[in-house]
Structure 1
Amino acid sequence: MKTQLLITLFIAFLLCSCGAGRHLPVQTESRDSVRVEVREVTRYVPDTAWMKIPAQTAENTTRDTSSHLETDYAESDARINPDGSLYHSLRNKAQEKPVPVDVPVTQKDRIVYKDRYVYDTVKVPRDLTAWQKWQMRSFWILLSVTAAYLLRKPLLALARRFI
């Protein structure tokens, strides 16, 4: 009796066994969208530029009794010559002078927008057959029948206790 039951269970397990794994083809479509926005702003910033003043020499001779030459960046010498003429020399000092200047400063801002769309398409070759559906449903039936057979003695003892 036990061997008959074991053979029946073995055949039932063979009929309801799992199938081989199937690899489904996966088709992936990917699309990128990149947009770059460039913004340019020009501001004027006050700054100081240094202007170099070149060294210069100037001379003047006149028959007047006095002469005066003066600048912010020069030296002046005047004298009366023995023949009665006036000698006057003017020498600029080599130096740099600060000059206020507005300097243009350009700022470039670049913003990159990236939009990514990924589409995954999984194609199933066909629906499950009736046999495959029956195998999937019968597993739970076979599991419950096997559990009831293995636990029949404790279940019967529990049922007798309440009857």
Structure 2
Amino acid sequence: MSDYYDDKLQRSGDSMRIVAWCIGAIVFIAVLACLHGCRSQKIIERTDTHDSASYERTESIVYVPVTVTVEIPAQTAERETRDSTSHLETMFAQSDASIHWVDGVPYLHHSLANKPQQLQKTEMVPVKHVRLRYFRTICRTKYVYKHIEKQLSLYQRAVLNIGPWIILSLIIYIIYLRSRLRRQG
């Protein structure tokens, strides 16, 4: 008779092990589902910047003082007339006049001579300035990884709130079953 009970007890112990393994697998799958469903999403954000090339042209006229040098050539001229004597002198020339007697007739001898020199004068000369500024632009693509926290569904919030208690109770139940099987075995 004890064989009968030993057989029955052994079969019930095997079935208890199967139940414990099934519960363990269910708990493992539930933990994986919780961890997967609650993670934040990761997206890639692409930013394109397009640049171009252009130029700016600026024209301006600036008056610059320039010193101009003019050379005055040396010149001489003479003339005789019947008149009085004189002497004239300026910056550029000098003149002498004198009376000469030729055959008892008085003649005025007049000489005019330019002084050899250079004349300097300042003139305002227009100068045209053209300024070109070039602008070059570049095309760039930038990728940024962003984490977006998603809104949890009602089921996910329930799993997060109640799930740890269910897992804890299953662990306690499995420990209880193993201790019971050890006492019986």
TM-score, length of structure 1 as denominator length: 0.45
Superposition TM-score, scaled by structure 2 size: 0.42
If each structure's helix is expressed as a fraction of its own residues, which one has the higher value?
Answer: 2
Whose radius of gyration is greater, 1 or 2?
2
